[in-house]
Amino acid sequence: MELYSIASGSSGNCICVGAGRCHLLVDAGISGKRIEEGLFAFGLKPEELKGILITHEHADHIGGLGVMARRYGLPMYATAGTIQAVLNTKSVGKIDESLFHEVNLGYEFQIDDLLVEPIEISHDAAQPAAYKFKSHGKSAAIITDLGTYDEKIIGKLQNLDAILLEANHDVHMLQAGRYPYLLKKRILGDRGHLSNELCGRLLGEILHDGFQSILLGHLSKENNYPALAYEAVRLEVTMGDNPYRGTDFPIAIAKRDEPSEVIYIR
């Protein structure tokens, strides 16, 4: 398996996951041109994709969806609530409804070499989902846009080989920053976004000796820095109630405006 971020951040998200000849996008929250360029950088053609998985309907996750749908006719997978919300989003434009395939939270489905499971998450969207992938005995997950986590999510993320996990904000930067009070309250709430500290604590719940790679994603441009997220997450792992130190596993940052290094899961 392989996992790479074309873009990840508060201004746009688009992740690619692959196994063998099967490659899928998770979200299309940047322009169609940037998606195409990101795929070309990894030696892929957009028409070779097997589909697009949609996490939820916010603009930074579906901004380029209409273009990709109309240009390439790719199958799109999402929960019923998300599909309806996307169809009601005027900025996406006209999309052939037959391209949508409804998925059910907690139920796996197969797309070529990838077994996909949508995971229920807590976010202020219609019916949001994260996604877990399995292929040939390996597994990875892409999980962002969650304000909190619980034992159910921890259970779903056990025995992974790799993860792209949200480290959206530094709490102190957000609290002291220029965002309006209601926006701060939303981000910090249980249906908002995961802070650096909560990201590190969640990692402490799911790490194991065979864990291969961690990619921190969906960093806020206004309320975080890559170096700050990296150090805060490592510190939380080290200080947490687990047998590991933050330096025991490779941790990278998914870039906001350009593709990140490929994570190979072997």
- The count of domains in the chain is 1
At 203 the pLDDT is 98
What torsion, rounded to 10 degrees, do the Cα atoms 146, 219, 35, 163 define? -60
At 109 the pLDDT is 98
* Full residue range of the structural domain in which residue 134 is found: 2-264
We report the CATH number of the domain holding residue 104 as 3.60.15.10
- Listed as own residue / partner, the contacts of 104-111 with beta carbons closer than 8 Å and 24 or more positions apart are 104/79, 105/79, 105/129, 108/134, 109/77, 111/22, 111/24, 111/50, 111/51, 111/77
pTM check: above 0.95: yes
Q: Which of 44, 11, 47 is nearest to 27 (CA)?
A: 11
How would you list the strands of the sheet with 138-143, edge to edge?
Answer: 109-111, 114-120, 129-135, 138-143, 162-166, 213-217, 251-253
Q: Is 73 left (phi over 0), alpha (psi -120 to 50) or beta?
A: left
Tell me the backbone φ, ψ of residue 224, rounded to 5 degrees: -165, 160
pLDDT string in tens for the chain (266-residue length): 999 999 999 899 999 999 999 999 999 999 999 999 999 999 999 999 999 999 999 999 999 999 999 999 999 999 999 999 999 999 999 999 999 999 999 999 999 999 999 999 999 999 999 999 999 999 999 999 999 999 999 999 999 999 999 999 999 999 999 999 999 999 999 999 999 999 999 999 999 999 999 999 999 999 999 999 999 999 999 999 999 999 999 999 999 999 999 999 99
Q: Count the alpha carbons within 13 Å of 168 in the hemisphere toward its beta carbon.
A: 22
Radius of gyration of the CA atoms of the chain, in A: 17
